[in-house]
Every structure is written in structure tokens, then in C-alpha cells.
């Protein structure tokens, strides 16, 4: 689905379904240097199980035009504006990596719109390696290679998949190449500079879900556990994979999210 927002063509994946405002809605927010393709397996799954699914490409990412945002605060305001323009008044927000920081910031910006929050392979603070930021600035293609290599566990690195022909590393690299060249370095700097995550997590008054990756070297497990401990009401799971959890363990992740959503509706 395309809409015009802030004078730019903005793409929001809906899993090929029309949005029905009377349905429960889940919004998936991509991580640094990513776009809606990061959530392909989640978008399809939940769009075919009675949910509105929205996964927007931030400016300069995926199919969205415009200059990439330069902070987590800007991301949260932009996301809220897009959802308001679509007409969504309350939703469950699911973020991956940088998307977790966006979710934390939005929870402070306008908490009344949130029904629940799902944090995937994230933390309340995501410091970024200076070397990676430098590469993202001077040689983005090399930075893409580094991220997909560091970001996958053994299964992803060796393309061990339940879907024949699915190659995690090449597909992950292709997803990043769709974006504007400046998108990754902007995103990495946004993560590095965001300081409000911990206090935001401590102020959340919702039932939350955190799904972490045991072999995550980009947002290490111990950092994710600090997020779990900071949230008052939080269910948590740890899966045996790397940082790109939605692609490496989609079936397990989808089952966990579906159970969480059912419990929210009770």
C-alpha cells in the first residue's frame, strides 16, 4: 500500500490485504538498514489470521522515498503520523533491533495508542561499533556484508532453512541494497545516540513480549535481558539463532507472537 506522507511516497506492506479498521492491528517496525522485507514471514502469517498487518518502510528505506530520519525520536514521530493517516487508533507494535528503540520512544510519545509491544532481538540501549559506522559511511556495500555475516547464527550462515532455495546471507544483503545509500549510517547513528530506552522501558504499563536470540552478537543476549528486567509486565523467550531472528526462526517466532496476541485479547 502506498500513501503520501510528508510529501513523499510511503510504502506500507499489508500482506496483500485491505485494512479493515474494526480488526486488531499489528505493526512491525524494521531495524537498521532494513525494510519491510525483514518481516516477510510474519506479515504473511498474521495477515492470513484475521489481523491487520502494517509494516512501513521508513523514508529512504525499501519502497519509501525521502531522506532517512536522523534519530529514534524522529522515527517514532514519523511512524505515529503514518499510522494516524491510515486511521489506526490502537495497535500492537512489534519492533526488531532498532525498531525496539522506536517502540520504546513511541511508548512515551503516545502510550494510549498501544495495546501491547513486542521486542525482537532488541535492547533498551544499542551501541554500535565505530568500525561498522565508518564502513556504512564510506563503503555501504561492505557494511552490508559485515552486518549480514555478524547478524546470523550458524543456521543462517550455512543457509540451513525449512524453505528450499532460501539463502539468508544473499537475501539479507539484497534487502539492504534496496535502501538509499545513506539509510544504514543514519540508522546506526540513531541507535548509537539514543539514550532514553531504559527510562522508557521502566515506564511501560502494558503486557509486553520480548523474544531474544541466544547467539546475537549485534544486540547481545545480556543486553536484551536488561530490557526484560526493566519492564514491569514482560513475557520473554530465547531462541537459538542470531540477530536476524524473524528470518532465521520464523515459525517459532510466529507461534510465540500468536499466543501473546491471543492472551492480549482475553
Q: What per-residue confidence (pLDDT) applies to 165?
A: 63
Using only C-alpha atoms, what is the Rg of the chain?
Answer: 17
pLDDT value at position 172?
85
Q: Can you give the pLDDT at residue 167?
A: 74
For residue 205, is pLDDT > 70?
Answer: yes
Average pLDDT score over residue span 242-250: 93
Q: What confidence tens digit (pLDDT) does each residue in 90-100 have? A: 999 999 999 99
**pTM to 2 decimals?**
0.95
Q: For the residues 70-89, what does the mean pLDDT come to?
A: 96
The Cα–Cα gap between 263 and 178 comes to 36
Task: Read off the pLDDT band of 107 (50, 70, 90).
Answer: very high
What pLDDT is recorded for position 164? 57
Identify the CATH homologous superfamily for domain 2-265.
Alpha/Beta hydrolase fold, catalytic domain (3.40.50.1820)
DSSP letter at 216 equals -
Query: Which of helix, strand or coil describes residue 215?
Result: coil
Give yes or no for residue 154 having a pLDDT over 70. no
Reply yes or no on whether the pLDDT at 142 is more than 80. Answer: yes
pLDDT at 153: 77
Cα of first residue to Cα of last residue in the chain, in angstroms, is 31
pLDDT confidence bin for 163, thresholds 50/70/90: low
Amino acid at each position: 500500500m502506498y500513501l503520501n506522507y510528508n510529501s513523499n511516497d510511503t510504502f506500507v506492506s499489508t500482506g496483500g490485504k485491505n485494512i479493515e479498521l474494526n480488526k486488531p492491528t499489528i505493526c512491525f517496525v524494521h531495524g537498521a538498514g532494513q525494510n519491510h522485507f525483514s518481516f516477510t514471514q510474519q506479515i504473511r502469517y498474521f495477515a492470513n489470521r484475521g489481523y491487520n498487518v502494517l509494516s512501513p518502510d521508513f523514508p529512504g528505506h525499501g519502497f519509501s522515498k525521502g531522506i532517512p530520519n536522523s534519530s529514534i525520536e524522529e522515527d517514532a514521530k514519523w511512524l505515529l503520523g503514518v499510522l494516524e493517516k491510515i486511521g489506526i487508533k490502537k495497535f500492537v507494535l512489534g519492533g526488531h533491533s532498532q525498531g525496539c528503540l522506536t517502540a520504546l520512544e513511541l511508548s512515551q510519545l503516545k502510550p494510549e495508542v498501544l495495546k501491547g509491544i513486542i521486542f525482537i532481538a532488541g535492547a533498551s540501549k544499542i551501541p554500535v561499533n565505530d568500525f561498522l559506522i565508518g564502513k556504512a559511511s564510506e563503503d555501504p556495500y561492505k557494511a552490508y556484508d559485515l552486518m549480514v555475516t555478524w547478524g546470523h547464527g550458524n543456521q543462517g550462515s550455512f543457509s540451513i532453512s525449512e524453505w528450499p532455495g532460501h539463502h539468508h546471507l544473499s537475501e539479507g544483503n539484497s534487502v539492504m541494497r534496496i535502501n538509499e545509500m545513506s539509510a544504514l549510517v543514519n540508522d546506526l547513528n540513531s541507535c548509537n545516540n539514543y539514550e532514553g530506552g531504559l527510562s522508557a522501558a521502566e515506564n511501560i504499563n502494558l503486557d509486553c513480549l520480548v523474544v531474544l536470540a541466544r547467539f546475537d552478537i549485534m544486540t547481545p543476549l545480556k543486553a536484551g535481558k536488561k530490557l526484560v528486567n526493566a519492564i514491569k509486565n514482560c513475557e520473554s523467550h530465547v531462541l537459538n539463532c542470531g540477530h536476524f531472528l524473524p528470518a532465521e526462526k520464523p515459525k517459532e517466532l510466529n507461534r510465540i507472537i500468536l499466543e501473546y496476541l491471543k492472551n492480549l485479547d482475553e
